Structure 1
Amino acid sequence: MSQTPIKFAYWVPNVSGGLVVSRIEQRTGWDIDYNRQLARIAEQAGFDYALSQIRFTAGYGAEYQHESVAISHALLAATEKLRVIAAILPGPWHPAVLAKQIATIDHLTGGRIAVNIVSGWFRGEFHAIGEPWLEHDERYRRSEEFIEVLKGIWTQDAFSYRGDFYRFHDYSLKPRPLQQPHPEIFQGGSSRAARDMAARVSDWYFTNGNTPEGIEAQVDDIRAKAAANGHSVKIGVNAFIIARDTEAEARAVLDEIIAKADPEAVRAFGHEVKNAGAASPEGEGNWAKSSFEDLVQYNDGFKTNLIGTPQQIAERIVALKALGVDLILSGFLHFQEEVAYFGEKVLPLVRELEARRAAA
């Protein structure tokens, strides 16, 4: 097991409706004041990263959204140590524009910005804004070129590139980012194309929530492919965390979330994402095998089973670390109060268990 402490990130609620498609009360706001305060709470609680979301159109309860790069910069300005990952969608973004945005923010915030390259799953969103919709594996080919271009712009003078999606001719960006060799690059996805891309070019790979067995299989697959490419990649796992003083309380919250799910919105979301998952050649993309209950949480976060008492959750987190997980990407029902609770009750237990294992 790695001697490096496992890291923690949280989903930035810059999109309205919270992280579950349910009518249950969610004491979470999408506005900037709520998010600034949440970022400060998370930083104090011991979180390493925050991940902003990118959405362009209203739907599935997410009627309002703040743009990811702008809000990421605002959260960085409100904190001192927290690193913020801005979600980016190739197509709407051109890599030269993004490279310059991120280099500037990197200088303004002391080197704390990162990017999450999202290949896209929502066909209707692309149609709504007049962007061409590529087939599944073509979206990942474009994302891979996008990442190659970002790295080239951030590390080379007179950068040239001739790909199927992007062309550059003797382009130099000044100033380059502070971070060396470049800001961290995250990506997600569960399909073969997504995993293979991570094994070639990404610094971090995010997977949807899953069972320990499913996570172990993904970790082993990606690490083996990356090693064959002379590359290394870290692994982050999505988890919707329900930490309560008793397991019964935590399970009751989960039951209520599912009981109050918005069936129409869940089915509409499920229709889109299952089409996206099934569109991969092997039919194994994100959400391809998700149940109705899984889809109530956007990224299968219930599957990871970080639901219970602080001790139970801490033990499961350290078990995931033993499988090769480097980061837990966390979602919560009531973000501010539950992030604070996690920092007070769960994270110290994780560190204690890590120390014990390191000494054993």
Structure 2
Amino acid sequence: MPVKVIGMIGVAPPQGTALHVIAGGISPTFLREFSQAHEAAGFDYVLVGYYASSAEGFNVASYAACQTKTLSFLIAHRPGVVSPTLAARAAATLDQLSGGRLALHIIVGNSDADQQREGDFSPKEERYVRAAEYLDVMRKVWTSTKPFDYEGKFYRFRDVFSEARPFQQPHPPLFFGGSSPGAMEMGAQHCDAFAMFGEPLAETAERIAEFRRMTQPFGRTPRFNVSFRPIVAETEGKAWDKAKKILEDLKSSGTMPTKAQDKSAERLVELARRGDVHDERLWMPVAGAAAGKGNTSCLVGTPEQVAAAMLKYYRLGVASFLIRGFDPLGDVTDFGRELIPRLKAGALDIDRELAAAA
């Protein structure tokens, strides 16, 4: 299967060196430009992020889909904010209207504070149990050919049926992320792709093997996604200089988080404590300074070097990469010109090599 490349769009232009792209007001002009830039650069998907204060993701993706032709949208979605039956119909509707350009990234909220802004005071591990029920209901809505009843701990329904069916069968892809037991159990039962922050190759291989074992009782064959912040330049020295300047700018911005808010973030902070550089190109100081928040595992080097580093993960079984830069719009163009073509060509070479060996 060809490697997939995922970016991330926001609705307002970020200022300066950017850790995040989903804050601020709504600029239709910027959203259109940002989406079209990703499409032109060869991205397959873009992530539409989620905070309790941010623009609503289904509407953002719907507008961006009207401004593009082939770009798909990975919408971050919190189970429990709306009914799973409504969410299933909304997703099926957008999947149909966009011609199958939808995927969902299931999140339960990276902080209790942000959940509480939406009236949810449930502890995180309980949210994962609820999310498993939620996804069970959604998948039944998408696939059931006749009305069904549902009786769970958190949800109860009678005579449920949807005439809105997804374009993609059996349903749009479901991504998830997390490192806690609750997250892993939910994903093993219900999700198609495990999204991980960038960690060293050895740790990534361990996580892939562990999750594959967890999905076996459910007869599932999972896919894997890894997130990186590539920092590329025409020479390796210039790339490292650029990386150091980015770190300085972020530290001086006064907007960096101070505390890791989940298990995945804690893993990144610990990796940063162990050393600045892992596997030659994986650079962790930004992740350490950002308390593990914001997909801040960096790969530093020339486009050739960074593509080669990413292809080592592809050989481990990683089928897609979420990449974004600290100059959100400018980096999209640079990645499309220098990095993405090398990554996709290299993945095809690996596919041919493995096919010949088989």
TM-score of the aligned structures, taking structure 2 as reference length? 0.85
Q: What corresponds to 1:353 in structure 2?
A: 346
Residue 135, structure 1, aligned to residue 135, structure 2: no
Shift of 1:237: 0.8
> Relative contact order (C-alpha < 8 Å, sep 6+): which is higher?
1
Distance 2:289 2:327 in 1: 16
Distance 1:353 1:29 in 2: 39
CA contact (8 A) 2:196 2:227 kept: yes
Residue 33, structure 1, aligned to residue 35, structure 2: no
1:335/1:17 Cα in 2 relative to 1: closer, same or farther (>3 Å)? closer
Q: What corresponds to 1:5 in structure 2?
A: 2
Q: Which of 312, 323, 336 is residue 329 of structure 2 equivalent to? A: 336
CA contact (8 A) 1:208 1:299 kept: no
Letter in 2 for 1:108: L
Letter in 1 for 2:34: L
Letter in 1 for 2:255: A
Shift of 1:120: 1.0
Shift of 1:306: 2.2
Q: Which of 245, 263, 266 is residue 288 of structure 1 equivalent to? A: 266
Shift of 1:231: 0.9
Distance 2:295 2:326 in 1: 12
Q: Which of 255, 265, 273 is residue 255 of structure 2 equivalent to? A: 265
Shift of 1:299: 4.1
Q: What corresponds to 2:51 in structure 1?
A: 55
Shift of 1:356: 3.4
Shift of 1:93: 2.3
Q: Which runs of 5+ in 1 are unaligned?
A: 58-64, 278-284
CA contact (8 A) 2:177 2:196 kept: yes
1:158/1:322 Cα in 2 relative to 1: closer, same or farther (>3 Å)? same
Distance 1:287 1:15 in 2: 26
Q: What corresponds to 1:281 in structure 2?
A: none
Counting only pairs closer than 5 Å after superposition, residues 274-285 of structure 1 correspond to structure 2 as 274=260, 276-277=261-262, 285=263
Distance 2:60 2:160 in 1: 28
| TM-superposition CA deviations, 1:204-223 (whole Å, max 9, x none) | 11112211122111111111
Distance 2:246 2:150 in 1: 48
Distance 1:358 1:183 in 2: 25
Q: Helix, strand or coil for the counterpart of 1:259? A: helix
Distance 2:90 2:328 in 1: 28
1:315/1:351 Cα in 2 relative to 1: closer, same or farther (>3 Å)? same
CA contact (8 A) 1:83 1:113 kept: yes
Letter in 2 for 1:337: G
Q: Which runs of 5+ in 2 are unaligned?
A: 273-284, 354-358
Shift of 1:121: 1.8
Residue 151, structure 1, aligned to residue 144, structure 2: no
CA contact (8 A) 1:83 1:112 kept: yes
Residue 236, structure 1, aligned to residue 225, structure 2: yes
1:108/1:173 Cα in 2 relative to 1: closer, same or farther (>3 Å)? same
CA contact (8 A) 2:44 2:72 kept: yes
1:168/1:313 Cα in 2 relative to 1: closer, same or farther (>3 Å)? same
Residue 44, structure 1, aligned to residue 47, structure 2: no
Letter in 1 for 2:49: Q
Distance 1:9 1:70 in 2: 19
Distance 1:144 1:76 in 2: 29
Distance 2:19 2:96 in 1: 40
Shift of 1:82: 1.1
Distance 1:34 1:313 in 2: 28
Q: Which of 170, 194, 200 is residue 181 of structure 1 equivalent to? A: 170
Shift of 1:18: 7.3
Distance 2:308 2:124 in 1: 37
Q: What corresponds to 2:161 in structure 1?
A: 172
Letter in 1 for 2:264: N
Q: What corresponds to 2:57 in structure 1?
A: 68
Identity between Structure 1 and Structure 2 (%): 26
Q: What corresponds to 1:320 in structure 2?
A: 313
TM-score of the aligned structures, taking structure 1 as reference length? 0.84
CA contact (8 A) 2:11 2:30 kept: no
CA contact (8 A) 2:314 2:347 kept: no
Q: Helix, strand or coil for the counterpart of 1:286? A: helix
Q: Which of 62, 70, 75 is residue 86 of structure 1 equivalent to? A: 75
Distance 2:74 2:156 in 1: 26
Q: Helix, strand or coil for the counterpart of 1:260? A: helix
CA contact (8 A) 2:105 2:174 kept: yes
Distance 1:119 1:15 in 2: 24
Shift of 1:52: 0.2
Shift of 1:15: 6.7
Q: Helix, strand or coil for the counterpart of 2:255? A: helix
Distance 1:39 1:330 in 2: 14
Distance 1:111 1:50 in 2: 14
